[in-house]
Amino acid sequence: MNNGTKSCDNKVALGGDVRKVKEAVRNGESFLQKTYSTVSISNEPDKYRTRYVVMRAGERAYHRGETDTSSSAIYLSDNDSTATVIHEWGHAIEYQNPSIGRAARAFLERRVGGEPAQKLNDVVSHGGYRDDERGRSDRFVEAFGKDRAWYVGKDYGGRATEIMSMGMEQLYNDPAGFAKADPEFFEFVIGVLHGRIRG
């Protein structure tokens, strides 16, 4: 595969015991190699790189597109899991493949329709989000449960989505349950990973 996982350099910037997160990265990449077709990846593999930055424990993982270099940085804390690594790769895949990003935005818009976005802190039982984070739950609740559904429909103002990230995380955690509870979403994620769906 040439979507960057082979050429990524596991840079460790900060953090304490990084053994656990390194193992999570290895497991996450091995899952990706099994599921991600070479067909669906960027046609300019040399242009794209994905690097990891390890933060202090307890900090929230995120992906950041590095627009000047068209590369991705995945920020993880040293206690993050394999599922989180896979989640952040979902963002990297949307970011590094504009046609997949467009397909994910179209899928999200089709699903949420005109449902108004709500503040996550108002609708999610555990709270703890920034005040500007908003989401829509659609029928994501069927596969993701009440709280996580709102995050699947997170509103990034049309710039990004949680579709591939939450979808790939669910595919990793419970593929059979995901396929049964939300076949349309499951098929979308599989279609992207196997190269059948492009924007």
Which one, 54 or 152, has the nearer CB to Zn ion?
Answer: 152
Which one, 168 or 190, has the nearer CB to Zn ion?
Answer: 168
Of 2-41, binders to Zn ion (CB under 5 A) are: none
Using CB positions, name the residue nearest to Zn ion. Answer: 165
Residue 165 C-beta: closest distance to Zn ion, Å: 4
Which one, 162 or 182, has the nearer CB to Zn ion?
Answer: 162
Q: Which of these, 26, 54, 52, 43, lies nearest to 96 by C-alpha position?
A: 43
Which one, 29 or 162, has the nearer CB to Zn ion?
Answer: 162
Residue 120 C-beta: closest distance to Zn ion, Å: 12
Which one, 97 or 165, has the nearer CB to Zn ion?
Answer: 165
Of 134-193, binders to Zn ion (CB under 5 A) are: 162, 165
Burial class (CB in 10 A: 0-12, 13-18, 19+), 37: middle
Residue 162 C-beta: closest distance to Zn ion, Å: 5
Residue 43 C-beta: closest distance to Zn ion, Å: 25
Residue 104 C-beta: closest distance to Zn ion, Å: 12
Q: Give residues in contact with Zn ion (CB under 5 A).
A: 162, 165
